[in-house]
Amino acid sequence: MLAIVKDDYDAMSAEAASLVADRMQKKPNLVLGLATGSTPLGLYRELIRLHRDEGLDFSKVTTFNLDEYVGLPPNHEQSYRRFMGDNLFSQVNLDPRFVFLPNGMANDIEAHCDWYEQQIGAAGGIDLQVLGIGSNGHIAFNEPGSSLGSRTRVKTLTRETREDNARFFASPDEVPRYAITMGIGTIMEARELILLATGENKADAVRAASEGPLTAMVPASMLQMHRKAYVILDRAAASKLSGEYVHTYHAASLVRRPR
């Protein structure tokens, strides 16, 4: 793992966008895994700017999203399909044929999860997967205790996760109790990972994931086993990491050497 520490959220987002854009330029038909939530919004804004101002081309890129709530139709204002449409898809030149998201309204969700895994395989696997981290250490909706070899499936959301996401809904009772999520095994098969975290409220989870033991109780700790995992943080999210920092990777980045 490389922990890249930036001064603030905007700098963190620009760093992540620079890495994504670099991979897209090197491989125009990149298979890109995407995340939702407030943390990657800055990344998506910067990718939109790069497309608009510098011609970053998405036309051959294939995307797979990590997760979706069960029971929310695609046009619901809190569905992840709606989120991605509003915050990225509608503003870049992605080909709709190459855009994949779980369908929380599928009639047979188990069969749909199997189909989703098959589509990832048919695309050649995910080249670069963007991740966030929950305050309890979850990645995607793989809550603490999730199988470290899990595949795309339905998960019951913990009370903590539902409370964290309640700010997006009119009331806590409206937060769905279930979600479709890529599994940890699926995520770990991506060739590269970018985990983004911002704010002091994520500092404990970041430290547990980066420096703690490998454990299913902190699903993000599995990133320690990945060959190419970049943890891009603002200073607040990095505030509880230990160890010395050196200038490496991008010249302007402070990067902690992996243990």
**Would you name the residues annotated as active-site residues?**
67, 136, 138, 143
Phi-psi region of 10 (alpha: psi -120 to 50; beta: other; left: phi over 0): alpha
Supply 185's token pair: 């095994």
